Amino acid sequence: MKIKKGDKVKVITGSDKGTIGEVVAVIPAKNKVIVEGVNVAKVSQKPTQANPDGGIVSKEMPIDASNVMLYDSKSKKASRVGFREEKGEKVRFFKKSGTTVKGGKK
């Protein structure tokens, strides 16, 4: 999967199309990502010791990784991603601009 936690992505399809946000979590087994502020659903929560009232909470739900593209902040465009070797290290790069992808945690 070419998207990692902490990457800035742009939603390219669906009801949140055009939204730019940061990846909060990656679920590679299901090919899904959770993006900050995207695909927000209201979820009922039972009372717990941490939250004794319970109630209805807004929660970001996963979306398919094919519905997002990495966002290049310099060129202000979404771009596909490729891999190349620089100084003996495998790095990701934007195919539109050719610049190296910064950010993202393993």
Q: Which domains does the chain have, with CATH numbers?
A: 8-94 (2.30.30.30)
Cβ of 38: how many Cβ atoms within 10 Å?
25
In sequence order, what DSSP letters do the residues of the chain get, joined into one string?
----BT-EEEE-SSTTTT-EEEEEEEETTTTEEEETTSSEEEEEE---SSSTT-EEEEEEPPEEGGGEEEEETTTTEEE-EEEEEETTEEEEEETTT-PBPP--B-
Q: What is the pLDDT of residue 104?
A: 67
The β-bridge partners of 58 are: 42
Across the chain, which has 106 residues, the per-10-residue mean pLDDT values are 93 94 96 96 93 91 96 91 92 91 73
Judge whether 106 and 6 are in contact, CB under 8 Å: no
Q: What is the pLDDT of residue 106?
A: 59
Tokens representing 55 are 């109630």
Please state, in angstroms and rounded to a whole number, the distance separating the CA atoms of residues 56 and 31: 28
Q: Model pTM?
A: 0.84
Please state, in angstroms and rounded to a whole number, the distance separating the CA atoms of residues 34 and 55: 22
